[in-house]
Amino acid sequence: MSTSTSIRPEPAGVVAHHSSVRTLAMVALALGGFGIGTTEFVAMGLLPDIAASLGISEPTAGHVISAYALGVVVGAPLIAALTARVQRKTLLIALMTAFTLGNAATVLAPNYGVVMAARFVAGLPHGAYFGVAALVAAHLAERGKRAKAVALVMMGLSVANVVGVPAASWLGQNLGWRSAFVLVAGIGTATLVAIWSWLPPLAAMRMTNPLTELGALRRPQVWMTLIIGMVGFGGMFAVYTYISTTLTDVAGLSRSLVPLALMIYGLGMVAGNLLGGRLADRALVPGLFVSMTALGVLLAVFVIASHNPYTALVLVFGVGAAGASMVPGLQTRLMDVAADAQTLAASLNHAALNIANAFGAWIGGVVIAAGYGYTAPAAVGALLAVAGLVVLTVAVAMERRSARSSR
């Protein structure tokens, strides 16, 4: 189903003929993604510091990551539905304000309970921001380049793993963990200024209403696409969660080189994100098949390659690239199959990916605890990628049958 009826270009002379306006708008949207990606992943490397500062155990400190993820899962559908009538630029400013305040509250939180609440609040706008930003990017995109525009917005998330997370981690380790969130709040403030200054009015974007948006939940293809993300992406997160120990204990990499390995993973995500956008613009569903097949193959090979530091690092790049290449395609497909309920569907994508994060980390931990070793999460991840391919195949078959019956 095409979205051409719901994505209308701005009036001539406002955006359509000004590539510089479009570029600045994409940079502003990607900057928000950069801040969100930094805050989402930086806490993982600072758990010992957070635990020591708050006088709690490290596993208890790990709940701050869960609180953020819960905020994403709760906030994405709730905000997308309730704000359906809000003008898109206004909504993006409101979402980034909430994000910035949530991170500022994390900096000032006096105890564990307030830190948990602040992380939950910081997570609430995550999914809705990416969902609305993706729709705005598609709206502003040149004809035939929707997925590429969506990929540029998601680029902030990928670049965060290369630049934002290492920088915030370094700050947190040297100036106290709260300083990492000072940096994130600063990025949020810069994003607010950029969106206010660089985003055009978006008056031509059609508003909906809460009931219309909730209609997305009645569409089987929306659910199938979300399941593809939850299952297929779970395999990547099963490996990423335990990558540090895998590289040191299995590959024999020096602990001091682990940050470099994580940057290589982030570079893979940047490359995959760009490739995924181009694949999706050229052939959306075949592109998803290619991305998920590549992810499954690379995860399977990683089981063997992880025993050597050089091959392990090559595969770390490959897994990051293959996983990230799925995101623009999944985001664009959700916008396509949701018809007039695109905001909720696009926002739910990030709730699904956070569920994949939690599910992948859990199943990876289960196989490690069962004594199968640190290569086991990659093997399970390969099976999850295959399961994602099965769900995608079923979804395509359902879509074709529906198209035939409607003739």
Same fold, 1-207 and 214-407: yes
**Who's near 227: CB < 8 A, 6+ residues apart?**
352, 391
pLDDT at residue 166 in the model: 85
In tens digits, what is the pLDDT along the chain, a chain of 407 residues?
333 333 344 443 344 436 788 889 999 999 999 999 999 888 877 888 898 999 988 778 878 888 898 899 899 889 988 888 899 999 999 999 999 999 999 999 999 999 999 999 999 999 899 989 988 998 888 888 888 888 988 899 889 988 998 889 889 888 999 999 999 999 999 999 999 999 998 877 777 778 888 888 889 999 999 999 999 888 888 888 788 889 989 999 987 888 788 889 989 999 999 999 999 999 999 999 999 999 999 999 999 999 999 999 999 999 999 999 999 999 899 888 987 778 888 888 888 888 888 788 888 888 988 999 999 999 999 999 999 999 999 999 999 998 888 77
Instruction: Give the chain as a 3 state SS string.
Output: CCCCCCCCCCCCCCCCCCHHHHHHHHHHHHHHHHHHHHHHHHHHHCHHHHHHHHCCCHHHHCHHHHHHHHHHHHHHHHHHHHCCCCCHHHHHHHHHHHHHHHHHHHHHCCCHHHHHHHHHHHHHHHHHHHHHHHHHHHHHCCCCCHHHHHHHHHHHHHHHHHHHHHHHHHHHHHHCCHHHHHHHHHHHHHHHHHHHHHCCCCCCCCCCCHHHHHHHHHCHHHHHHHHHHHHHHHHHHHHHCCHHHHHHHHCCCCHHHHHHHHHHHHHHHHHHHHHHHHHHHHCHHHHHHHHHHHHHHHHHHHHHHCCCHHHHHHHHHHHHHHHHHHHHHHHHHHHHHCCCCHHHHHHHHHHHHHHHHHHHHHHHHHHHHHHHCCCHHHHHHHHHHHHHHHHHHHHHHHHHHHHHHCC
Q: Where are the domains of the chain?
A: 1-207, 214-407
Pick the CATH number of 214-407 from 1.10.599.10, 1.20.1250.20, 3.40.50.720, 3.40.50.300: 1.20.1250.20
pLDDT at residue 322 in the model: 96
Torsion-angle region of 202 (φ positive above 0: left; ψ -120 to 50: alpha; else: beta): left
pLDDT at residue 18 in the model: 66
Superfamily of domain 1-207: MFS general substrate transporter like domains (1.20.1250.20)
